[in-house]
Amino acid sequence: DTGVSQDPRHKITKRGQNVTFRCDPISEHNRLYWYRQTLGQGPEFLTYFQNEAQLEKSRLLSDRFSAERPKGSFSTLEIQRTEQGDSAMYLCASSPSGTAGRNEKLFFGSGTQLSVL
């Protein structure tokens, strides 16, 4: 399968614990995005990387959240001191440089479902 891969698919944790999710984009896609979907809402933008550079970060992303893409390939999203409000589906998406601009199409992974007890 050459699609966007996310790991784990599900994560249950206790409040106050740290969690880390991984996203492997489609090979050679230089842009990578993280979105979060809570119950009853559409996905919300969290952050965006072009290669290894984090170019934009939503105000939704508190200082407990950090994302990295160290070599411009896979990315990790870490949440420290999780809270019940962090329970959500965390989606990763990537897009190739060839579709820059208005016609850019995002390829999504199937997400990591986080439950904070």
Partner 1 sequence: ILNVEQSPQSLHVQEGDSTNFTCSFPSSNFYALHWYRWETAKSPEALFVMTLNGDEKKKGRISATLNTKEGYSYLYIKGSQPEDSATYLCAFRGYGGATNKLIFGTGTLLAVQP
Interface residues toward partner 1, by CB under 8 A:
3-4, 33, 35, 40-45, 48, 55-56, 58, 91, 102-111
In angstroms, what is the minimal distance from the CB of 67 to partner 1? 14
28-to-34, 74, 89 alpha-carbon distances in Å? 17, 11, 25
For residue 15, the tally of other CB atoms under 10 A from its CB is 13
- Is 71 strand, coil or helix? coil
Evaluate whether 77 touches 61 at the Cβ level (below 8 Å). Answer: no
Q: Give whichever of 17 and 110 is closer to partner 1, judged by the CB atom.
A: 110
N-term to C-term CA, the chain? 33
Q: Give whichever of 76 and 107 is closer to partner 1, judged by the CB atom.
A: 107
Q: Which two tokens stand for residue 33?
A: 């995005």
Q: Give whichever of 40 and 85 is closer to partner 1, judged by the CB atom.
A: 40
Q: In which element (H, E) is residue 25 found?
A: none
In angstroms, what is the minimal distance from the CB of 42 to partner 1? 3
In angstroms, what is the minimal distance from the CB of 104 to partner 1? 7
Q: Give whichever of 58 and 76 is closer to partner 1, judged by the CB atom.
A: 58
In angstroms, what is the minimal distance from the CB of 14 to partner 1? 25
